[in-house]
C-alpha cells in the first residue's frame, strides 16, 4: 500500500501528540510531554517552572479534548484527531495557538527563556523535537524562525510556528 505524503504528515502529527504511542491521545500524553521536557532541560517537577509546565499541559489537554474528543471518553482517537482537531483547527491556527500558548510559554521558560520570552535557536529546536516535531524539521524550523540572525527566537514566533506545523499538514 502506498502511503500518501498527506497521510504520512497526519501520522507524524498524531504521533507527536501520542507520546506513549498507544494509539490514542489522552491526558497521560500531555503529562509525558511535560516530563520529557523537564528531563531534557534538567528541571525538577516540583520547581515553579515544573509546576507551571504541568498546569500548561493540563490546559492544553483540556483544550484539545474540548475540540476533538467527540464521544467524551477522555481519549482522542486518530479519527477524532483527523476529523475533529485538524479540520477544525486548520482554518483557525489562532485558536490552536491560544490552547497551546500556556504550555509553550512554560516550556520555553524551562528551556531557559529570558524575561522577554526569547530562547536560543538550539534550545528551540530541542523543545520542538521533544514535542514530536521531526528532528531535521525542528532544526530547520528553528533556524528559519531566527529571521534577524541574532541566534534567539521570540515566543510569538514559536507559538505560531507550532500552530502552523500541527494545523496545516497539507
Ligand atoms: Ca497515548
Ligand atoms: Ca474520544
Report the CATH number that the domain containing residue 113 is assigned in CATH.
1.10.238.10
CA of 64 to the centre of ligand 2 (A): 11
CA of 36 to the centre of ligand 1 (A): 14
pTM: 0.86
User: Can you list the pairs that 141-146 forms with residues at least 24 positions away whose Cβ atoms lie under 8 Å?
Assistant: 141/165, 145/121, 146/121
What does the pLDDT look like over 62-119, one tens digit per residue? 999 998 999 999 999 998 988 877 777 777 778 888 899 999 999 999 998 887 778 9
Ligand closest to 80 (CA) is 2
Report the domain count for the chain.
1
Contact 110, 122 (CB under 8 A): no
Ligand closest to 26 (CA) is 1
What share of the chain in percent tops pLDDT 90?
A: 45
CA of 32 to the centre of ligand 1 (A): 9
- pLDDT for 31 beyond 80: yes
| Nearest-angstrom CA–CA distance, 20 and 145 | 29
Q: What is the extent of the structural domain holding 90? A: 5-167
Ligand closest to 27 (CA) is 1
Amino acid at each position: 500500500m502506498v502511503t500518501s505524503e498527506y497521510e504520512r504528515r497526519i501520522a507524524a502529527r498524531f504521533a507527536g501528540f501520542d507520546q506513549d504511542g498507544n494509539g490514542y491521545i489522552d491526558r497521560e500524553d500531555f503529562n509525558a510531554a511535560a516530563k520529557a521536557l523537564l528531563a531534557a532541560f534538567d528541571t525538577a517537577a516540583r520547581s515553579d517552572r515544573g509546576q507551571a509546565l504541568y498546569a500548561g499541559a493540563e490546559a492544553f489537554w483540556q483544550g484539545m479534548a474540548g475540540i476533538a474528543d467527540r464521544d467524551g471518553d477522555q481519549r482522542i482517537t486518530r479519527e477524532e484527531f483527523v476529523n475533529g482537531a485538524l479540520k477544525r483547527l486548520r482554518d483557525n491556527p489562532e485558536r490552536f495557538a491560544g490552547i497551546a500558548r500556556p504550555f509553550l510559554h512554560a516550556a520555553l521558560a524551562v528551556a531557559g527563556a529570558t524575561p522577554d520570552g526569547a530562547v536560543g535557536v538550539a534550545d528551540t529546536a530541542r523543545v520542538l523535537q521533544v514535542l514530536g516535531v521531526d528532528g531535521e524539521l525542528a532544526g530547520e524550523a528553528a533556524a528559519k524562525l531566527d529571521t534577524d540572525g541574532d541566534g534567539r527566537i521570540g515566543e510569538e514566533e514559536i507559538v505560531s510556528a507550532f500552530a502552523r506545523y500541527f494545523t496545516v499538514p497539507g
